[in-house]
Amino acid sequence: MGETTSDFLVHRLGPPPAVLIGAAAFSAALWLQLRAGRYSAWVYWLAVAMVGVFGTMAADVLHVGLTARTLGLGYLGSGVMLPR
Protein backbone atom coordinates (compact mmCIF):
# COMPACT_ATOMS: atom_id res chain seq x y z
CA MET A 1 0.00 0.00 0.00
CA GLY A 2 2.80 2.43 0.82
CA GLU A 3 4.53 2.00 -2.52
CA THR A 4 1.33 2.33 -4.54
CA THR A 5 0.07 5.40 -2.70
CA SER A 6 3.47 7.06 -2.77
CA ASP A 7 3.88 6.47 -6.51
CA PHE A 8 0.35 7.68 -7.23
CA LEU A 9 0.86 10.94 -5.33
CA VAL A 10 4.30 11.60 -6.81
CA HIS A 11 3.11 11.00 -10.38
CA ARG A 12 -0.16 12.90 -9.92
CA LEU A 13 1.13 15.93 -7.96
CA GLY A 14 4.87 15.93 -8.57
CA PRO A 15 7.58 15.06 -6.04
CA PRO A 16 7.77 18.24 -3.90
CA PRO A 17 4.01 18.60 -3.20
CA ALA A 18 3.60 14.85 -2.70
CA VAL A 19 6.44 14.69 -0.16
CA LEU A 20 5.09 17.75 1.69
CA ILE A 21 1.61 16.23 1.87
CA GLY A 22 3.08 12.88 2.93
CA ALA A 23 5.16 14.53 5.66
CA ALA A 24 2.14 16.48 6.93
CA ALA A 25 -0.08 13.39 6.97
CA PHE A 26 2.67 11.33 8.67
CA SER A 27 3.16 14.03 11.30
CA ALA A 28 -0.58 14.29 11.93
CA ALA A 29 -0.92 10.50 12.25
CA LEU A 30 1.97 10.32 14.72
CA TRP A 31 0.58 13.25 16.69
CA LEU A 32 -2.81 11.50 16.95
CA GLN A 33 -1.16 8.22 17.94
CA LEU A 34 1.02 9.79 20.63
CA ARG A 35 -1.88 11.84 22.02
CA ALA A 36 -4.27 8.88 22.21
CA GLY A 37 -4.88 7.98 25.83
CA ARG A 38 -5.73 4.40 24.95
CA TYR A 39 -5.83 2.08 21.97
CA SER A 40 -7.93 3.23 19.06
CA ALA A 41 -7.88 0.97 16.02
CA TRP A 42 -8.31 3.69 13.40
CA VAL A 43 -5.61 5.90 14.94
CA TYR A 44 -3.18 2.99 15.19
CA TRP A 45 -3.75 1.79 11.63
CA LEU A 46 -3.60 5.33 10.27
CA ALA A 47 -0.14 5.68 11.84
CA VAL A 48 0.93 2.30 10.44
CA ALA A 49 -0.32 3.23 6.95
CA MET A 50 1.42 6.60 7.01
CA VAL A 51 4.70 4.98 8.05
CA GLY A 52 4.38 2.84 4.91
CA VAL A 53 3.50 5.75 2.62
CA PHE A 54 5.94 8.34 3.94
CA GLY A 55 8.66 5.75 4.54
CA THR A 56 8.47 4.82 0.86
CA MET A 57 8.62 8.49 -0.14
CA ALA A 58 11.67 9.08 2.04
CA ALA A 59 13.45 6.01 0.64
CA ASP A 60 12.64 7.08 -2.92
CA VAL A 61 13.96 10.59 -2.29
CA LEU A 62 17.22 9.13 -0.98
CA HIS A 63 17.60 6.71 -3.86
CA VAL A 64 16.23 8.61 -6.84
CA GLY A 65 17.01 12.16 -5.74
CA LEU A 66 20.38 11.81 -4.10
CA THR A 67 22.11 8.73 -5.38
CA ALA A 68 20.73 8.22 -8.88
CA ARG A 69 20.49 11.80 -10.11
CA THR A 70 23.11 13.62 -8.09
CA LEU A 71 25.80 10.95 -7.89
CA GLY A 72 24.86 8.90 -10.95
CA LEU A 73 24.54 5.66 -8.98
CA GLY A 74 22.05 2.93 -9.77
CA TYR A 75 20.46 0.45 -7.39
CA LEU A 76 23.70 -1.49 -6.88
CA GLY A 77 25.70 1.63 -6.09
CA SER A 78 23.13 3.08 -3.75
CA GLY A 79 22.61 -0.29 -2.08
CA VAL A 80 26.32 -0.52 -1.29
CA MET A 81 26.58 3.12 -0.28
CA LEU A 82 23.50 3.58 1.92
CA PRO A 83 23.63 2.32 5.53
CA ARG A 84 21.88 -0.87 6.45
Tens-digit pLDDT profile for residues 27-39: 999 999 999 999 9
CA pair distance 63, 12, nearest whole angstrom = 20
pLDDT at 38: 95
Instruction: Decide which of 13 and 60 is more confident.
Output: 13
Average of pLDDT values for 42-61? 92
Res. 76: pLDDT tops 80 = no
Q: Is the pLDDT of residue 64 over 90?
A: no
